[in-house]
Chain A
């Protein structure tokens, strides 16, 4: 579904921060992306959701070579990739319901068509009681779950999550992990960028380990 071949990335004229990355995110797969801080996890995630162009190599996303994509093509591809940001990026003036429904709203769908789906998903992530709460009154874990629900609402082919358990305690982290596993079982490929070893030990999943700009893969 997403394929990297000999991908390299450098900022300006600096040294390569990512070197010779070759891997594939397969359909319905589950993997952790890990490595020490500053290893380039966020840069790699940004390339995965088309926010950053590589300096060399080939990236194919959903069968399209990203080097040949025009800006007009990007939204339709992005709609098939769900992203959970480390800092949640919820809109503060919108309720949980409105934040989660946002991807459907920007696609021009009618609210009555999706209202029940959004409510069901919010309940599924355990925020049924916080449907009409603004982000400012949500806890870190609740914001995280709202951000996850927003990434999932349009049933993406792949979900990318950047440190999704970085702001939550261990029990909630386990609960979020179960959520991702359940999502994966329903057919979505999942990439979780984390340096939480405890989280990774709970699941026997593929690990992509970034170290000094290179990637090692443990299937």
Chain B
């Protein structure tokens, strides 16, 4: 039979099978629906997918949080005006604010008023202190365009010329430390995720091959009654895709449910000190769409991997039993 004729026959037979299925005619599947090895494989896949999904979620959470830390800090700079003999503090603050506003790349500038400064210093100085009587530095908060930041060196020179007591703090030291830390955390997360994915891949492959070993006799029988390799591979692929999908979906969905529960728990307990600590670190502890998309991608990947492994095992087994040369054996 030529290739074209074989392909045509294959397509026709598939169409016929679909038509009979639509008509409700059911035949016993060629690969038995469930056995102990199959269930064990689905369980292993579910557990590994759950662990991998947790890692995906954790990396997504850490990545988002790191990005937020970086943005929150780097979109603000401060001008500190130190008190000095004969310095008109309100005038100096206003001059600094005007210089900041005139600098390209600055989106806004506001003077931290006495009340706000008092609240900042409250832990050290206590309540009800009259700041005008104390030589306390004052701040101008400047928000900048992170896409097109101002020239800090130029701004610093301008400020020094107008108000010698003014210092510009662009938070660069903090930002660079936080960026380094965030990058390290994300790097470690990605590394752990890679390890988990490699472990999941290997586990899925070995579990599938283990489950397949119980079906070798079916491959042989189909082979010797004249089934084409593609037919046999397709039967097993379909069966294992289903099993892999069930296992991966179970593991992945439990992980998604866990993220949702943690998210709603932290949201509901936002006022408690424990939740405040968690929120300080992770914000609202919600996994973004990337996390959920990652878990769904993981489910699809694991199911596909299971199906492909079964196909590869069938093809390899067929190659072993097909016209084996005793010399090569």
User: Which of the segments B74-82, B217-225, B267-275, B286-294 contacts the partner chain?
Assistant: B217-225
A110 in contact with B225 given A53-B324, A71-B323, A93-B28 (CB within 8 Å): no
Number of chain A residues close to chain B: CB under 8 A: 39
B326: A residues at CB distance < 8 A: 9-12, 52-53, 55
In the complex, which residue of chain B has the Cβ closest to the Cβ of A90? B221
Taken together as a complex, chains A and B put the C-alpha atoms of A91 and B16 apart, in Å, by 24
On whether A150 and B224 interact (CB within 8 A), knowing A93-B32, A108-B12, the answer reads no
Task: Report whether B222 and A12 are in contact in the complex, using a CB–CB cutoff of 8 Å.
Answer: no
Chain A residues closer than 8 Å to B319, beta-carbon distance:
71
Cβ-defined contact, A94 with B28, below 8 A: yes
- Determine if A11 and B329 form an interchain contact, defined as CB atoms under 8 angstroms apart: yes
Per the 8 Å Cβ criterion, residues 1-45 of B in contact with A are 1, 3, 6, 9-10, 12-14, 16-17, 20, 25, 27-28, 30, 32
- B177 contacts chain A at the CB level, 8 A cutoff: no
Whether A12 and B225, one on each chain, are in contact in the complex, defined by CB atoms closer than 8 angstroms, is: no
**Are A10 and B327 in touch, CB under 8 angstroms?**
yes
**CB <8 Å contact, A50 and B323:** yes
Most B CB within 10 A of own CB, among A9, A72, A95, A98: A72
Nearest residue in A to B318 (C-beta to C-beta)? A71
B132 interfacial contact with A, CB 8 Å: no
**Chain B CB within 8 A of A89 CB:** yes
Q: Which residues does chain B contribute within 8 Å of A150, judged by CB atoms?
A: 225
Nearest residue (CB) in A for B19 is: A110
Please tell me if the beta carbons of A71 and B16 are within 8 angstroms of each other in the complex: no
User: A130 interface residue, CB < 8 Å from B?
Assistant: no
B325 contacts the other chain (CB 8 A) = yes
Q: Is B321 an interface residue (CB 8 A)?
A: yes
Q: Which residue of B lies closest to A52 (CB)?
A: B324
Contact A102 B323 (CB under 8 A): no
Q: Which residues of B contact A75 (CB under 8 A)?
A: 226-229
- From A21-29, A76-84, A190-198, A209-217, the one touching the partner chain is A76-84
Docked CA distance A12–B325 (Å): 9
B312 interfacial contact with A, CB 8 Å: no
A-side contacts of B231, CB under 8 Å: 106, 108
* Docked complex Cα distance between A95 and B10 (Å): 25
- Known contacts A94-B28, A111-B25; is A79 also within 8 Å of B226 by CB? yes
Interface members, chain A 99-139 (any B CB < 8 Å): 102-103, 105-111
- Whether a CB of chain B sits under 8 angstroms from the CB of A51 is yes
Roughly how many angstroms separate A1 CA and B218 CA in the complex, as a whole number?
A: 29
Taking a contact as CB atoms under 8 Å apart, the answer to whether B226 and A98 are in contact is: no
18 example contacts (A-B, Cβ-Cβ < 8 A) are as follows: A9-B326, A10-B326, A49-B224, A50-B323, A53-B323, A71-B322, A75-B228, A83-B224, A89-B217, A89-B224, A91-B30, A93-B32, A102-B222, A103-B225, A106-B227, A108-B12, A111-B27, A150-B225
B positions within 8 Å CB-CB of A? 1, 3, 6, 9-10, 12-14, 16-17, 20, 25, 27-28, 30, 32, 217-218, 220-222, 224-229, 231, 319, 321-327, 329
Q: A49-B224, A50-B323, A91-B30 are in contact. List 9 more A-B contacts (CB 8 A).
A: A11-B329, A12-B329, A51-B323, A53-B325, A75-B229, A89-B221, A102-B225, A106-B30, A108-B231
